[in-house]
Structure 1
Amino acid sequence: MRRQAPKINGETPFMPPFACSTIAHSAFAMLGLNCLLASSAFAEPPEAPWHRRPLRIVQTLLREPDVVGYDVDGVMRFVRESRANCLVINGGGIIDFFRYDSEMANPNPFLEDRDILAELSEACHKEGIKLLARVDFRGAEEARFRKHPDWFAAGPDGEPKPLQNGLRPTCFNGGYRNEYGIGLIRHLLETYRMDGVWYNSVHSRGACYCAVCQEKYRAATGESIPVLPDADDAFLGPEMARYRALKAQWGLEHLDRVRQAIKAFGDDRVLVGEVFGMFGVSVPLTGGIDVYTVSPYFDFLIGKAFLDDGQYPFLAGSTIRFLKALDPEKQAVLLTGAHRNSDRQIFEPPLELEGWLWEAIANGGSIWNALIAGSHPETFLDRRNPLATRIPFDFLARREQASMGMKPSADVKVYYSGATRERFSGGFAAAIQGAERVLLQRHIPLGFLTDNNFTDESLTGVRALVLPSAAALSDAEIERIRAFVREGGGLVADFQTSLFDEQGQSRGGFGLADVFGCDTAGEIKTTDRNFYQRIRRRHPVLASAGDTDILLNGARTLLCEIGADSGAQAICSYIGPIKSQPPERSWIGDADTDHPTIVVNAYGKGRVVYFANEIMRLCLEDGHPDFSDVLGDAIQFAIGGPPRIETDAPPSVHLALLENGAGAYALSLVNHTSAPWRPVRYRAPLEDITIRLDLGDRSLSDFEIWAADGPIQVERIDRCARIRVQRLQTFSSIAIYTKQNAP
């Protein structure tokens, strides 16, 4: 039976028949990313709520004058052309885009004698488009502040906090957020056919000394809030630790009140908010709201990552992997935009944005296209790239049922330690991204494992765990890591991993010393220039090192020692420094030391590699083969067997593997092969890529081509699926169906 190719822009791409009974065949799409099919084999029950399905969100963030002559038909035309299923529109808070009978209301001065929210909500309802109202209660202008000064944040002297961007700031306990704000949300949901609320700028920076906060702090501690200079450094110090913890609790209590108000209108009404915290530390800690802790309050999870936010093309995929680790059952949404976040009137380079979006989708993410330049593209000053998300949105729409229940399939998980991020943030983000970079370049299926979801179940199917300088670990975490390795799991760790407990208190040695086979000697050396490592013995972790007696060192190195009764092996040892000037004296007499920099150990049934330096950070910030190749070889050694994916694709092609737990997989390829500078203006197409996917105790039964730039062939070879991609321009995706092998 021939499956008809979908029509896109009125045209049908050429595709040969898909014969379900045939294992080895190919599919071809002449129009690039137009070979898009969905399969009921991936489907979850149809009653799954709308916010648990792939989301294709467009946000038009209105400026005050944009309401003049607001063109509802033009907005809906844009939503249809974008293939969006959800629209986010201004509601109220700082500026109200509707008329509201409240003394604290602040209606847009450009509002005409019409109700654009009523018109737009009716139009969206008729077309099956979900509509979210954007609210923002971070502060109010001076005139509204004077009506209820007790509702706002105060300094240590009880006086109002200084203006921030022209607004008097608020706190989580004050009446502005809880009486006025929640009242406004109720009014929006009572009056309009809104499907939920987008809570912008949830956080509240710094300490608040208003009467309510003082009373709540005194009730919890018996003391007054400490008075310190209003600066982030002081606020993040130990004197404010109790206040920070209570403030975070108050933030969750506020979100719970908001959520209850919304859910009173039905379980299908959603709350989602703008929260930071994957790599940034300052905003979550000073603002009291962290995506790490607030995810239970939101109906789907948002990660903000615009092109101008990050210099690495895998940040979009990294964001989705992180959100999936926080809560794999919720939709993970990349908040990005066709317009820049820093210079909001100007478009993002389209070719680079294309790869950015496919990175998120390949890892199981949804997309939020935030446009901050007018009501719809015809009104934009820059109209060069408004429909950048149309083809990715079309892909998500056509595979909606197929993608339900899909989660990252990981041979290796990168451990994300929230306690380390909070207490030892220097180099934290770089270490995690460096590990990711190596895994992506090696085409090893990866995911995140967060410490707040660290369970035995979270390690199911994981072959190796990577700890990027996870300095602060609890006793429970350490014991679970021990058990994982003891039963045959691999472990790769570096630098200060397990040297402190979850409160940041020194253990006086590694908590995982028995697993590493070594312990700290108590001294950290700065090794960022003219420092090296002596190769003591050849080993598989140096498989790519080549003909050399030394390796480069960098960043910082923790001096370590291997005990006399340890069975661990020192693969390399610390040298340094060998100064570079004058060159005649660029030598050292005795390069041997007793301080290993690479230690290999066997613990139970597992393989362990410990690096005394910051190798994972160096894989990102330096990238020299003595870091990236050695870390890659170490991870492969720790896995302890052949990789599940083998391919001849270059490192510039990122592979992502998803699975639904019922024997169905989605394998996607994103091509980042381009000129060595940003923004990407040219992407080099690749030919004849072969991928071998080991299916374990299952075998290939069928497949579908979801997206292709050219012919793709799939065939069964023993327990493997061999995929040949004859041409990869940007993105290809293949669904793999498997069946259980007979015993």
Structure 2
Amino acid sequence: MGLWWHEPFRAFQTNLREIDAGLDVERVLDQIEDFGANAWLLSVGGIVSNYPTDLPAQTRNPALAQRASGDLVGDAVAAAHDRGIRLLARMDFSKVDRRRAEEHPEWCFVGPDGEWQVYNGLTSVCPSAPYYQRESFAVVDEVLSRYEVDGFFFNWASYNERDYSGRYRGVCQCLSCARAFGAPLPAGPDDRSYPRWRRFAKGMIDEFCGRMREWIAVRRPEAPLIMGDTADIVFHEANNAVGRPLWHHRTSEHVSAARTYRPHVPVFTNAVGFVDMPYRLAGEEPEHVAQYLVQAISRGANPSTYVMGTPDDSRYECLGVAGRITRHHRDHQDVYTDLVPAARVLLVRPDPLAPRPSTAEFQGLYRALLERHVPFDVLGEERLGDCGRLDEYSVVVLPDLGALDPAAVAALDAFTGAIVTTGSSGFDGEVAQLVGSPVRERLAVRDGVEAVRSMHLLPDGDGAFPVPVIGAYHVVAPTDGARTAMRVLSRAPYGPPEKCHGHVELAQPGLLAAGRMTVLPWTVGRAYREVGLSAHRDLFVDAVRAAVPVPVGADTDLPDQVEVVLGRSRAGLVVHLVNLTGAGPQRFGPPVPVHGARLWIPWADPAARVRAVGASIDLGVTERDGRPGVDLPPLGLFEVLVIDKET
């Protein structure tokens, strides 16, 4: 498209404190170049301006007096451009100082208690109010009138229900919100109108982002906006947080969801080099940051690393491995140019704005596919109706999503591939929503711990072992001609041991199939997420593999913890092997090296040329057991295979 950000790039963010305004621009640029980056994300304006602003809504950084020029941004733009490095402007319009809050109370967040949200002397402003809706545009205009910046990133552009300490402050009640919402505002999640307010808040941010994107594009088309779904570049911050359970695949999931929806829109993944904002002097575990970056580039994102202050101030051990991965991305530009998803399986992620998103079900199915080496892409449930790419997949998996939006139903009914559903997906009351469903009607729902406690499913076949039902089971009646499998073993007493008997085999199935559709009317993913039985994993993955006649997985003797990510770029078919063997409770440790593994390649012929990019060697395609494949080089953190001749 002729725009610089449609080619692979790499960034380094210095999140500056006020006292850093006197930094040595040339030294920082030396460090950024050595790191392998070609873009510098620099704090420019908002809470403090690192340039001599003339706007009454902005505060000049008093530490600019340390500079001979009095202008950090001007010095940085000139020096970066002399080296061919892009300068990206970080803006933060989330807060103002006390004087401006007193002068303009109409800008401020107002909590349900009628109080402003004040933290460390700064007052939060509301995205509905004039500071965002008017003043931020004037600030961006001033920056563009003075400097040829190469892009903008807006930090924390959201309705901040929590402050930096994590304290819940509620939904903003300012007059601008009241007018825009058009109904009594909720106070928080316990109010019935809260789900509607969350969609309102997202819509307001999307609308602001879209207007700002157009504003910038008219004035400087060479400068993209890095922000949300309506921006030029989708932003994802890969970070850790004290008190937040670690989902080891968060970065891969978020990048995949963005790239699957709009493969032509770049994604910017900013890997945080420290543990958490309150502990910003403590560097993150190197293996943890390595996973942020490897998961990002394997899914087609542009990598960025984020430090507090300057590289000299932030002596994080993780910067060594972050630099190596960044330089890998730089040195193999052809592999990452136009890298787009190419899996055959699509896993739908529950809408986060749903009243009860089925996160555990989704995460269990995610892990199941990963561990069985089935490459898959992720798509948000809210994007099903307008994705336009469903027919690029062989199988779509719907994880306990409940009643589907009419637009999603229409898209799935038009989809020509297979559909695998679990739990409540596609049921609206007793009605099965999707055409061709093997379910005639839903008769009852057993949902909750007690409702399914001690219930089991007995797989078909001699010698099969019962598996527990955990979460929910939906009692359904099959359509005429539907194939059913597995039988429910009814609940029975589970204590004391003397009374642990009485399970009855019922005529209720654990799987139904007809034509293109397979239904598992229970929460098999949640069961795997919560108890980790391989039987749950294998029942689900076997159902996905059986749903289509073509291979959708990769046959390999790699460990379960190695993810196979399939993409396609200018270089050919690209296979990332991401070694997650170092994943542990609430952390990543060093991955265990894997030696002597083989990958059978069902999507290539024996004449294919396969190159291991990391090891810098060609791999000969040989047949074993009648199937083409390659013997892999030793696998450390990750390897990248490029297959440049496909069947």
TM-score by length of 1: 0.78
Which position in structure 1 is the counterpart of 2:123?
A: 168
Distance 1:260 1:620, change over 3 A: same
Does the alignment pair 1:331 with 2:299? no
Q: Distance in 2 between matches of 1:264 and 1:330?
A: 19
Q: Distance in 1 between matches of 2:107 and 2:252?
A: 40
Which position in structure 2 is the counterpart of 1:465?
A: 396
RMSD over aligned CA atoms reads: 2.9
1:686 to 564, 586, 594: 594
Which position in structure 2 is the counterpart of 1:526?
A: 448
Q: Secondary structure at the match of 1:422?
A: coil
Distance 1:526 1:459, change over 3 A: same
Asked whether the 8 Å contact 2:127–2:157 carries over to 1, the reply is: no
Q: Distance in 2 between matches of 1:103 and 1:480?
A: 50
Q: Distance in 2 between matches of 1:731 and 1:242?
A: 43
1:318 to 232, 237, 253: 253
Asked whether the 8 Å contact 1:534–1:592 carries over to 2, the reply is: no
Pairwise CA distance, 1:60: 0.8
1:152 to 96, 99, 108: 108
Pairwise CA distance, 1:126: 0.7
Which position in structure 2 is the counterpart of 1:672?
A: 580
Per-residue CA deviation, residues 102-159 of structure 1 (Å, 9 max, x unaligned), is 22221223331521111111111111111111111112122111222233345689x6
Distance 1:414 1:191, change over 3 A: same
Q: Distance in 2 between matches of 1:191 and 1:266?
A: 12
Q: Distance in 2 between matches of 1:422 and 1:94?
A: 30
Pairwise CA distance, 1:699: 6.6
Pairwise CA distance, 1:441: 0.9
Distance 1:406 1:213, change over 3 A: same
Distance 1:262 1:637, change over 3 A: same
Q: Distance in 2 between matches of 1:398 and 1:454?
A: 38
Query: Residues 243-392 of structure 1 correspond to what in structure 2 (within 5 A)?
Result: 246-273=200-227, 294-296=228-230, 298-308=231-241, 311-342=246-277, 343-372=279-308, 374-376=309-311, 378-380=312-314, 382-392=315-325
Asked whether the 8 Å contact 2:261–2:387 carries over to 1, the reply is: no
Per-residue CA deviation, residues 695-741 of structure 1 (Å, 9 max, x unaligned), is 36x77443433212x8662326599752211311221112111156x
Distance 1:314 1:723, change over 3 A: farther
Q: Secondary structure at the match of 2:325?
A: helix
Q: Secondary structure at the match of 2:576?
A: strand
The one-letter amino acid of 1:594's match is A
Q: Distance in 1 between matches of 2:249 and 2:112?
A: 43
Per-residue CA deviation, residues 390-449 of structure 1 (Å, 9 max, x unaligned), is 11111111222332222121121112343xx323434x2222222111111111121123
Pairwise CA distance, 1:687: 1.1
Per-residue CA deviation, residues 355-396 of structure 1 (Å, 9 max, x unaligned), is 342222222222121112x222x223x443334321111111
The one-letter amino acid of 1:593's match is L
Asked whether the 8 Å contact 1:413–1:466 carries over to 2, the reply is: yes
Q: Distance in 2 between matches of 1:310 and 1:86?
A: 32
Does the alignment pair 1:198 with 2:153? yes
Per-residue CA deviation, residues 82-102 of structure 1 (Å, 9 max, x unaligned), is 111111111121122222112
Asked whether the 8 Å contact 1:559–1:612 carries over to 2, the reply is: yes
Q: Secondary structure at the match of 2:324?
A: helix
Which position in structure 2 is the counterpart of 1:715?
A: 621
Q: Secondary structure at the match of 1:470?
A: coil
Does the alignment pair 1:654 with 2:541? no
Distance 1:152 1:536, change over 3 A: closer
Does the alignment pair 1:600 with 2:512? yes
The one-letter amino acid of 1:432's match is F
Deviates more, 1:566-575 or 1:435-444: 566-575
Q: Distance in 1 between matches of 2:225 and 2:518?
A: 43
2:23 to 70, 86, 101: 70
Per-residue CA deviation, residues 520-570 of structure 1 (Å, 9 max, x unaligned), is 2233243477523242633xxxxxxx833422221222333336x353314
Distance 1:712 1:311, change over 3 A: farther
Q: Distance in 1 between matches of 2:440 and 2:189?
A: 37
The one-letter amino acid of 1:626's match is A
Q: Distance in 2 between matches of 1:259 and 1:371?
A: 26
Pairwise CA distance, 1:227: 5.0
The one-letter amino acid of 1:491's match is I
Q: Secondary structure at the match of 2:343?
A: coil
Asked whether the 8 Å contact 1:338–1:388 carries over to 2, the reply is: no
Q: Secondary structure at the match of 1:595?
A: strand
Q: Mind listing any 5+ residue stretches in structure 1 that lack a counterpart?
A: 1-46, 218-223, 274-293, 501-506, 539-545
Q: Distance in 1 between matches of 2:497 and 2:609?
A: 64
Asked whether the 8 Å contact 1:305–1:316 carries over to 2, the reply is: yes
Q: Secondary structure at the match of 2:633?
A: strand
2:35 to 68, 77, 82: 82
Which position in structure 2 is the counterpart of 1:443?
A: 373
Q: Secondary structure at the match of 1:304?
A: strand
The one-letter amino acid of 2:473's match is T
Asked whether the 8 Å contact 2:248–2:583 carries over to 1, the reply is: no
Which position in structure 2 is the counterpart of 1:276?
A: none
Deviates more, 1:53-62 or 1:678-687: 678-687
Asked whether the 8 Å contact 1:51–1:331 carries over to 2, the reply is: yes
Which position in structure 2 is the counterpart of 1:42?
A: none
Distance 1:135 1:409, change over 3 A: same
Deviates more, 1:667-676 or 1:101-110: 667-676
Pairwise CA distance, 1:455: 6.0
Q: Distance in 2 between matches of 1:652 and 1:739?
A: 27
Pairwise CA distance, 1:319: 1.9
Q: Mind listing any 5+ residue stretches in structure 2 that lack a counterpart?
A: 161-169
Q: Secondary structure at the match of 1:519?
A: strand
The one-letter amino acid of 1:650's match is P
The one-letter amino acid of 2:643's match is I
The one-letter amino acid of 2:183's match is I
Asked whether the 8 Å contact 2:487–2:507 carries over to 1, the reply is: no
Per-residue CA deviation, residues 310-342 of structure 1 (Å, 9 max, x unaligned), is 624322222221111231101222222222234
Pairwise CA distance, 1:473: 0.9
Per-residue CA deviation, residues 491-541 of structure 1 (Å, 9 max, x unaligned), is 2211111124xxxxxx43332385133532233243477523242633xxx
